[in-house]
Structure 1
Amino acid sequence: MDNQIKNIARTGYAAKGVVYALTGILAFGAAIGMGNSSEGKLGVLKFLEEQPFGKVLLGLLGLGLFCYAFWRIFQSIKDPENIGNDKKGLGKRIGFFFSGLVYMGLGIFAIYEIFKQINSGGSSKTAMIPTEFLPYIFYAIAIGMAIKALFQFAKIYKGDFLSKFHLNSMTNINLMKTIKWLGYAGWISRGIVEGVVAYFFFRAADTASQGDIKGTAEAFSFIRQNSEGPWLVGSVALGLICYGVYMFIKAKYRRFDD
């Protein structure tokens, strides 16, 4: 595989790590009563925008997310690591494609946030999607998110997410244990959040209103409503921080099967 493609993939993994680490940090801050409730991936973009040189940070993150989207779509079409065309391989490649689309959308939103004030002459909003199509779109997203959450837990059970590190060949035992610990904590937390988000999209499909779209931020709010909410949110948030750090490690140590 071309080294340039590998570098794009590593940049993408690092950008994804930033998104998840900041999502976890913001959610954990909200759980312990610090900061506002800017949880979720879009909350991360809003948070970055409010920082010094926020536009620059958003631009860099947006480019990184485009790198990740390109890598996932490249994986789905070109199959550089020979995943294959059998049922399992095609399932993975289709998943990569839709993952790429999601992160491309997030990257576009990051870039949009940079330039939106230039074109915003007022505060009016228009629906981007015709209302009559919303139930079908929401149901499709909900089913996709639910399947993704199930696959997440299947990966956790099998430990598949560790295969690209070739842990058996690692000589640094502490690094190997760190990758495993961060990976398991992060994937479990991510699976929980995506399952809750799938529920929100199922519910939004019934009302067919764009105002009912829920994401990661609302997933944390939903978890917080439990009697043990703050502890639960804090635990999931720490798990997402672990997943973010795991993605940084993946950016450095992930091996590519040429």
Structure 2
Amino acid sequence: MATVGTADGEARRAGRQAAGHPLFHRLSRTGLASKGVIYLLIGALAVQIGLGDGGAEADKNGALETVAARPGGTFLLWLLVVGFAGLALWRYAESAYGQPLPGGRKATKRLASLARGVFYTVACLAILAFVLGRGASSSDDQSKEWTARAMEQPGGRWLVLAVGLGLVGWGVGNIVNAARRTFLDKLDTWRMSPRTRTVVTWLGVVGRSARGLVFGTAGIFLAHAAVTFDPGKAKGLDGTLREFARTPAGPWALVAVALGLVVFGAYTFCEARWRKVETTRR
């Protein structure tokens, strides 16, 4: 038993040292920059849709196809794989050692980081599959397929409803936190000049609100699919964005939301520069 305890202690110390290494911090920031690239591209594709080019898919798959079509695209795609792997590892480190924030070691904070780590792991594997030529279906097809499979299982309809309501709550939480500007607690704002802080603040308010609106709306469609027992009503990111063009404001509503996602991508680059990523600091 003592040997097992000693080995466990050594493993935790080794993990703590790895998570506290400057290279690990750089990898985490590379991941944030990679996320920024994806959101910039999704927002740009959605703007194109709003302006009349309906052929592009405004989701992760569309963003990856855009990168692949550029010179050096394969190299850039591998950088995205590494970046999202860094995001996942960073979140797992937070789940193990706590977030570098007041109360960051609470169980709820650690569980949230663990969930994000799993999400980024799935995203990383999806990008890797794309790089290896296995392709991927659109976000709408994936959403409908997942919803249909889930509803076939006992209690699956309630699971879909719970996920949809969870997305709605997460989206609303993003908007509230953006309005309250609590996201600034996660940044080393003391390293910014007053003018830079003002710019970063407004990028965060606009960008995080837009992201919350989009994913909250996606949650509404998913919950509606559960209530009506119709998987076809579920929508992925691309389908959700296109729905904004069907509002009374027309395509300009889609353009406005899409520009908000572009702003969020720009804000994420600010996070790559100033986000607190030192999970083991005290």
TM range (shorter): 0.7 to 0.9
Partner of 2:31: 12
Shift of 1:114: 2.2
- Deviation track 1:23-73 (CA, whole Å, cap 9, x = no partner) reads 111111111124633102232123323444443332221221121122122
Deviation at 1:209, TM superposition (A): 6.7
Query: Structure 2 residue aligned with 1:215, among 236, 250, 254?
Result: 236
TM-score, with length taken from structure 1: 0.84
Hey, what does 1:236 align to over in structure 2?
257
For residues 213-258 of structure 1, what are the alpha-carbon distances to aligned partners after superposition, in whole Å with 9 as ceiling and x for unaligned?
Answer: 4221111111111121211111111111111111111111223462
Contact 2:101 2:186 in 1 (8 A): no
Aligned-pair CA distance for 1:175: 1.2
Matching of residue 227 in structure 1 with residue 248 in structure 2? yes
Q: % of aligned pairs identical?
A: 27
Q: 1:145-164 to 2 correspondence within 5 Å?
A: 145-164=167-186
Distance in 2, Cα, partners of 1:79 & 1:192: 28
For the 8 Å contact 1:43–1:217, the answer to whether it is kept is no
CA distance 1:100–1:209, change in 2 (3 Å): farther
Partner deviation per Cα, 1:106-154 (whole Å, 9 max, x = no partner): 1111111122459xxxxxx9x7856523534422321321221122122
Matches of 1:186 and 1:84 in 2, distance apart? 25
1:228 aligned counterpart, secondary structure: coil
What pairs with 1:121-140 in structure 2 (closer than 5 Å)? 129=149, 132-133=152-153, 134-140=156-162
Which of 58, 81, 91 does residue 108 from structure 2 map onto? 91
CA–CA separation in structure 2 for the residues paired with 1:115 and 1:218: 26
How big is the alpha-carbon RMSD for the aligned residues of Structure 1 and Structure 2? 2.7
Q: What residue is the counterpart of 1:122 in the other structure?
A: none
Q: TM-score normalized by structure 2?
A: 0.77
Report if the CA contact (8 A) 2:44-2:259 is conserved: yes
Answering whether residue 269 of structure 2 is matched by residue 252 of structure 1, we say: no
Structure 1 residues 43-192: aligned runs within 5 Å: 43-79=62-98, 81=100, 83-84=102-103, 89-117=106-134, 129=149, 132-133=152-153, 134-167=156-189, 169-170=190-191, 172-192=193-213
Preserved contact between residue 186 and residue 239 of structure 1 (Cα < 8 Å): yes
Amino acid at match of 1:90: A
Structure 2: give runs of 5+ residues left out of the alignment.
Answer: 1-19, 136-141
Q: CA offsets per residue over residues 78-111 of structure 1, 9 Å max, x none?
A: 215265478xx43333222222222221111111
* Aligned partner letter, 2:63: V
Q: Distance in 2 between matches of 1:224 and 1:136?
A: 30
Which letter maps to 1:142?
A: G
Tell me if the contact between 1:49 and 1:55 (Cα under 8 Å) persists in the aligned partners. yes
Contact kept? 1:30, 1:37, Cα under 8 Å: yes
Q: How much does 1:206 deviate?
A: 4.4
**Is contact 1:84–1:90 with CA below 8 Å preserved after alignment?**
no
Bigger mean CA offset, 212-221 vs 133-142: 133-142
Q: What pairs up with 1:27-46 in 2 under 5 angstroms?
A: 27-34=46-53, 36-46=55-65
SS in 1 for 2:273: helix
| Distance across 2 between alignment mates of 1:203 and 1:37 | 26
The structure-2 alpha-carbon separation of the partners of 1:187 and 1:58, relative to structure 1 and needing over 3 Å to count, comes to same
In structure 2, the residue matched to 1:197 is 218
Could you list the runs of 4 or more consecutive aligned residues of structure 1 that deviate by over 4 angstroms after TM superposition? 127-131, 206-213
Number of corresponding residues: 248
- Give the aligned residue type for 2:27: I
Structure 1 stretch 19-28 or stretch 44-53: which is displaced more? Answer: 44-53
Q: In 2, distance between residues paired with 1:99 and 1:159?
A: 21
